[in-house]
Chains A and B, each alone.
Chain A
């Protein structure tokens, strides 16, 4: 099976500090890959490069055989809107919009009218068991509810890849488990790949395989089940 998303020999430095030093990763459609490693190992930088948010200093990121760094900013924005979804630890929801509007936002940015966009958003909120917070703003929800709204927003466009950077980092274990269950189940149902950055083995357990990043280099390991 060919790779949907592939990173080869990525190098990236922030000033004099190297974050990636020849890291690579290959993701196939529908699979959940956990990227693990200690703090400052470069795992988030790897995710950001693979998502086209950061441009690596050298190396290649290919999505469906097209090189991401060769794409103009507008095309990468479009890709984030249509093919990618994001779940971060916090900060990704627009605080001014209601949860429903947040979930509908990528659809609306894609040109869908408000009613159908919100109808689809509501389905996803329902699916992630947070329909009751649809009209609340993110600041009025609990951490677990907020993350589930974020998952709904990441999946509402039917993405091919979901990037999740420490999605349970700010949650208690019970809420964390629930979010992971919902995220991976929904991803499997839609055949979306998930790139999951975490340093918790308990979270990584939801993945099909694990990659460990240390000192900017990646190494594949067998999933710990």
Chain B
């Protein structure tokens, strides 16, 4: 063991000592490994990000006194509220403390008083910016503070805490404290699957590239080690020296990666992916995973360097490849593919809509094994295919002969590319399948001429009138229709409700041929429900409503005869089905009508009219919320899917870029190592164009085969995964085409970038040997 340190140190010395060449090689290795380390560190930060987020969510959990309980001591009366600005959600709380001992929300030092507001840094920035000018009107309160990290989920949160004297004061709004248990987020099964495939598809190649990078300049290293053997270093000693060399590159890469990650994480708050941003403090690798990376990366480098020497005995006279080349066999290379497929087949339907007892280990293991089969199968396939090739132009012949001589390295590099491709194809296909299911549902595009102002169910009487007045006074609003609801109880424990509005307003919700005050209707809407009315005419019902969080029983009423009507031509969100009453139908009943909605007609062509309407009802604070009438989250979902697909595609392309960088490093290294034979070829009259083309074929052939394997494995993986989540089997052929095209482009770019090196190598100086 005492020999280890000096031998490793000598390895380090050798790796550093070759002047510019050594430094360039070390830099390339460090950059290659460093990029991998950055990706690994970022991935290892995800658990911390989720944990910190969960902790803050728990910290912000509101402990309501709750209906039916007595409010004792100082409490904070709190109503949560949401609005939008330019499609960005803004959420917050209107608060009113009952006394000085009222709990203070996390993130602020004191409860904002009436007319005061504390805002998140992102909202503060938006309000202070020129584009936030329209929003300032909605938040006229005096700004008294900025909500700290404890009170936020993410740095880009647009949130606020405002003091408001109108907040209703009852047990349902009384908060006696903040904080609660951390709850684990549960992901949608498809999303879980995407995360699993994403992790394997994007991280696995990183490990492949780390391994490949440490094998750079193998021939040169072998020569160097042979020289050491000549002066008496034993075989074990030479291996230790080689480990030292590999270790230096890995450590340099580790340091470079850590520094790059530390630098990049400073900008995490500025980066927003799919509406999510992360606090700098949250982008911290979990200590255990960071330690694992710190140990595994150098270990992987050392192991790879040792494995690459397993068939090579470093002999004093140079490098002797042990024995004759062994023909690769296929059977054992198929084992991971078979095991992986079996693992995934065993989980078919376990993550479907009916639920099941899924084993994440089997799913991840299956994905991992299938991915692993790619780099295992490729060298065999490349060897077999190039072994059968012959003839052709000189450039083709040169490339084929070179690959026939040694195709392992090329196959290993494109193996990394193929893993990315297969992962990308599987991911895209799972996404497309989920998306297909989504777009098959009925959908419509938002009608920008109709808005709804929804009033809080607990808002006091007169709120609807106040809101209607604010809206009617504005020239921006063409028409205002107030819809109210009245609730009934009937039978043992059955409930129903009816919409109450003038004839004019009801016409916005149903197709009425004639209508007079006192009329009743029943709206049937086949698109939503077609069941029989809950309470047919003649049913005796009791009017009910809520007051101070308690249910109040009102007068009795008999459901009158009504006319059945259909929906209007235009889509109207509030009229799905049920009773529609004119005020006259409830004549004589003292009914506090609450929970109203106001239908607002606006000019759809006026820019930012939605923001204007939201500003108009701004003074209503928590009591009113405005949105487009037929706004549905289907459009948002579709957008979300699109953005996830784009993000995945971007991730796949970024990893491909990493693969390209590795391919380029390897191509440059190969040119450098083979500069003498290349120079001899050029000197003996082989045109440089032919040499360049031979390089292109040399890169393209293995890559073409890797694309074929990637498509086969990727599509197979997609089918198996879609069976696990019981989604329709759809392969994203457009994505396959795009990723394969990107891979082909990569080869061309790599070849072009390596041409200057080739030109230098084929110069007269390349003929010098010593």
Contact = CB atoms under 8 A, between A and B. Distances in A.
A and B held together in a complex = yes
Contact of A81 (B16, B17, B232): B232
Contacts of A199: none
B398 interface: no
A139 B770 CA distance: 8
A96 B14 contact: yes
29 contacts: A53-B230, A53-B316, A73-B234, A77-B235, A78-B234, A79-B232, A80-B230, A80-B232, A81-B233, A90-B769, A91-B318, A91-B770, A92-B227, A95-B18, A96-B15, A96-B17, A96-B18, A96-B22, A96-B224, A97-B17, A105-B231, A106-B232, A108-B10, A109-B231, A109-B233, A137-B17, A137-B18, A139-B19, A143-B770
Interface of B: 6, 10, 13-19, 22, 223-224, 227-237, 315-318, 769-770
Majority-rule SS of A interface residues: helix
Given A91-B318, A101-B13, 18 more contacts: A53-B317, A77-B237, A78-B234, A80-B229, A80-B316, A82-B232, A92-B230, A93-B227, A94-B17, A94-B228, A96-B14, A96-B16, A96-B17, A97-B13, A97-B14, A105-B228, A109-B233, A146-B770
A108 B6 CA distance: 9
Interface of A: 48, 53-54, 73-74, 77-82, 86, 90-98, 101, 105-106, 108-110, 137, 139, 143, 146, 153, 170
List the 8 closest A-B pairs by CB distance, nearest first: A81-B232, A96-B17, A96-B18, A77-B234, A80-B232, A90-B770, A106-B231, A96-B14
Contacts of A86: 230-231
A153 B770 CA distance: 18
Contacts of B223: 91
A42 B227 CA distance: 22
A88 B384 CA distance: 40
A54 B320 CA distance: 11
Contacts of B318: 91
A143 B19 CA distance: 19
Contacts of B316: 53, 80
A53 B315 contact: yes
A94 B232 contact: no
A80 B237 CA distance: 14
Contacts of B232: 77-82, 106, 109-110
A92 B223 CA distance: 9
A139 to B, nearest CB: 8
Contacts of A97: 13-14, 17
Contacts of B224: 94-96
A146 to B, nearest CB: 8
Contacts of B229: 77, 80
Name, among B227, B232, B236, B769, the residue most crowded by chain A CB atoms within 10 Å (CB to CB): B232
Contacts of A78: 232, 234
A132 to B, nearest CB: 19
A109 B770 CA distance: 25
Contact of B231 (A80, A139, A146): A80
A73 B236 CA distance: 10
A91 B235 contact: no
Contacts of A105: 228, 231
B142 to A, nearest CB: 70
Nearest to A80: B232
A95 to B, nearest CB: 6
Contacts of A81: 231-233
Nearest to B3: A111
A57 to B, nearest CB: 16
B234 A74 contact: yes
A78 B19 CA distance: 30
Nearest to B14: A96
Nearest to B220: A95
A75 to B, nearest CB: 9
Contacts of B231: 80-81, 86, 105-106, 109, 153
B122 to A, nearest CB: 54
Given A90-B769, A91-B770, A94-B228, A137 B19 contact: yes
Nearest to B10: A108
Contacts of A80: 229-232, 316
